[in-house]
Amino acid sequence: MKIVAFNGSPRKTAACATLIESLCAGARAKGHTTRVFHLIDQDVKPCIACYSCMGHKAEICSQNDDFIGMAKEIMAADVVVMASPVYMGQVTGLFKTFFDRWLTFAEADFSIRHVVGKRFVTIVTSGAPAQQFKEVTEYLKHWVGDFFKLKHAGSLVAGDLHEPGDIHERHELLREAEALGRSL
Ligand SMILES: Cc1cc2nc3c(=O)[nH]c(=O)nc-3n(C[C@H](O)[C@H](O)[C@H](O)COP(=O)(O)O)c2cc1C
């Protein structure tokens, strides 16, 4: 099985990245392959609302940037991991710019192509206690699950995180992430 993860944090070794890595380690222990994209390293332009994707004028998207390769990875994957810190009460701008480009998976009549039936995991980290921003997880579950029709395979929420290394003290959460990876 193939797992592809997207990290919406600009910090490549902090909480989201570490939880992704624990999840992927669990998945690899079960023989699955994993690939992680740190969105900060990717050239992803904002959606320009040209609707070429929905009108089938472009195979995936009319903009030729790193999203095209990531969309192909999503199409080839069995499980998609969507990870973002909470910034100003929502996913990061980095993550949202990437997610807007998922419009390519919607048809003109809003039926969904390429991703229906795949499974997804959400990871949300925050400075505040985790329960304070549970609506961010609900937002991801709604749009990835209800709208894009992937099947929910699990969610990790981690709060009270400030310094990049704080997550390394959260042994129970790291075990939970690894167990989720093993269960996929
Ligand atoms: C610009 C910015 C905005 C943030 N906004 C919030 C917020 O609204 N609520 C919150 O609890 N934490 C907020 N935080 C803290 C991050 O969500 C928290 O440190 C998170 O663990 C970072 O994830 P990372 O370690 O993967 O980078 C913000 C941090 C930054 C840099």
Q: Ligand 1: does its nearest atom lie under 6 Å from the Cβ of 128?
A: yes
| Residue 90 counted as domain residue | yes
Query: Which atom in ligand 1 lies closest to the alpha carbon of residue 10?
Result: 27
| Secondary structure letter of residue 147 according to DSSP | I
Per-residue pLDDT tens digits for 45-75: 999 999 999 988 888 899 999 999 999 999 9
Q: Ligand 1: does its nearest atom lie under 6 Å from the Cβ of 86?
A: yes
Burial (CB < 10 A; 0-12, 13-18, 19+), residue 27, is buried
Residue 172 Cα to ligand 1 midpoint, Å, equals: 21
Q: How many domains are there within the chain?
A: 1
For residues 22 and 53, is the Cβ–Cβ distance under 8 A? no
Whether the model pTM is above 0.85: yes
How far CA 99 is from CA of 84, 130, 184, in Å, comes to 11, 22, 23
- Residue 79's identity, in one-letter code, is V
| Residue 12 counted as domain residue | no
- In whole angstroms, what is the distance from residue 172 CA to residue 130 CA? 14
| Residue 143 counted as domain residue | yes
CATH of the domain at 69: 3.40.50.360
Q: Ligand 1: does its nearest atom lie under 6 Å from the Cβ of 3?
A: no
| Residue 4 counted as domain residue | no
Per-residue pLDDT tens digits for 120-179: 999 999 999 999 999 999 999 999 999 999 999 999 999 999 999 999 999 999 999 999
| Residue 160 counted as domain residue | yes
For residues 48 and 65, is the Cβ–Cβ distance under 8 A? no
Q: Ligand 1: does its nearest atom lie under 6 Å from the Cβ of 85?
A: yes
List the domain range (segments joined by +) for residue 82. 36-127+138-183
| Residue 7 counted as domain residue | no
Residue 84 Cα to ligand 1 midpoint, Å, equals: 9
